[in-house]
Amino acid sequence: MNDTPPAAGGSRHFLDLDLVDATELRRIIDRSGEIKAARAGRPKLMPDDDQPLANRMVALIFEKPSTRTRISFDVGIRQMGGATMVLSGSELQLGHGESVGDTARVLSRYVDAIMIRTFSPEVLAEMAEAATVPVINGLTDRTHPCQIMADVMTYEEKKGPIRGAHLVWSGDGNNVFASFAQGAAAFGYRLTFTGPETLDPDPQILAAARAQGAEIDIVRDAAEAVKGADCVITDTWLSMHDDATARDRRHNQLKPYQVTSGLMHEAGEDAIFMHCLPAHREEEVTSEVFDGPQSVVFDEAENRLHVQKGILRWCMGVL
């Protein structure tokens, strides 16, 4: 595994899980747990004891909607003493023809880090290539690495070390699944995908993950796939980048992969249920599971805040 090439000043980009060394990912998770513990019981916006982002400005760029990513980055940066600027792609010249590279060069003269949620993974890559400050991937059509960092942290809080655990993804082989695949070798969990063949994960991502040592398999029958799983995961059946006119077709194909109490029963009572949110009740998951005792979905959402503080510190060289 290659370490992410450093941006100027020894700082680093956080673009995808397969680009960061496994020991660094582990260090971020462990440190994020300490960061979370140090704040236990404090009001939300009370500053952290150390202020690693004091006098620093972070640009948060969104070309797609967001609740968790937007707010957790904003709150986390303020807790660390930094300031934020939340921008939509359309209000930048980026949306009106200025190149991504030139935008990155200009932003690098003003701000200390950039977090971007965009459609195309090429835009993210171009931004990182030209920026001289750290760039963080806040989701593309292809991957969502910050989410999986929060999910690993959540898994370990609930069930102990994730190494050797069996995680089963039921549904669409989308961007969130792709980051689970990219993190499998580094964190050492076994990953099963269960879903219709038409919505299989990107074969290039699977091949690259397996080449790094990830153990990933595909099982078509959902009940068989989840047997004895430590964690069952799903996500929306229609992602932000998907064609909305395909909704009914996708729903028909994905219905056998809905996470129901029957499916969780196959996994066993010790299995936990994860969802990155936003969720669509009675579509990819029933309310009974979503609100039930095995669900850890709001802990995942909270841990976005803590783990992204760890990621930012790592990017800025102050982990």
Known catalytic residues? 117, 144, 147, 235, 276, 304
Q: Which window, 30-38, 54-62, 97-105, 172-180, contacts ligand NVA (CB under 6 A)? A: 172-180
Does 259 help bind ligand NVA (rule: CB under 6 A)? no
CB 21 within 8 A of CB 1: yes
- Give the CA distances from residue 4 to residues 20, 23, 127, 206, 211, in Å, rounded to whole numbers and listed in that order: 6, 13, 14, 20, 18
The Cα–Cα gap between 49 and 137 comes to 27
Q: Which is nearer to ligand CP, 5 or 278 (CB)?
A: 278
Q: For residue 82, what are the CA distances in angstroms to 11, 30, 35, 53, 109?
A: 16, 22, 16, 5, 17
Residue 115 is a binding residue for ligand CP (CB under 6 A)? no
| Distance, C-alpha 57 to centroid of its chain | 22
Cis amide linkage into residue 278, ω under 30° from 0: yes
Size of the site for ligand NVA (CB under 6 A): 9
Tell which one of 147, 170, 194, 286 touches ligand CP (CB under 6 A): 147
Question: In angstroms, rounded to a whole number, what is the distance separating the alpha carbons of residues 22 and 2?
Answer: 9
Q: Any contact of residue 66 with ligand CP (CB under 6 A)?
A: yes
Give buried/exposed letters for 189-204 (b at 16+ CB in 10 A, else e): bbbbbbbbeebebbee
Nearer to ligand NVA, 169 or 189 (CB): 169
CB 130 within 8 A of CB 116: no
175 binds, among ligand CP, ligand NVA, none (CB under 5 to 8 A by kind): ligand NVA
Chain centre distance of CA 296: 15
> Does residue 137 belong to the site contacting ligand CP (CB under 6 A)?
no
Task: For ligand CP, give the closer residue by CB, 62 or 189.
Answer: 62
State the nearest-atom distance from the C-beta of 194 to ligand CP, in Å.
21
- Which stretch in 183-191, 208-216, 233-241, 244-252 sits in contact with ligand NVA by CB under 6 A? 233-241
- Residue 223 touches ligand CP, criterion: CB under 6 A: no
Instruction: Look at residue 49 and give its three-state secondary structure.
Output: coil
* 239 belongs to the binding site for ligand NVA (CB under 6 A): yes
Who contacts 69 (Cβ-Cβ below 8 Å, separation ≥6)? 62, 115, 117, 138, 139, 146, 304
Stretch that binds ligand CP, among 42-50, 62-70, 99-107, 214-222 (CB under 6 A): 62-70
67 binds, among ligand CP, ligand NVA, none (CB under 5 to 8 A by kind): ligand CP
Could you tell me if 287 and 259 are in contact, meaning their C-beta atoms sit under 8 angstroms apart? no
Among 23, 67, 132, 204, binds ligand CP (CB under 6 A): 67
Q: Which residues bind ligand NVA (CB under 6 A)?
A: 139, 174-176, 235-236, 239-240, 276
Q: Which residues bind ligand CP (CB under 6 A)?
A: 66-69, 139, 147, 276-278
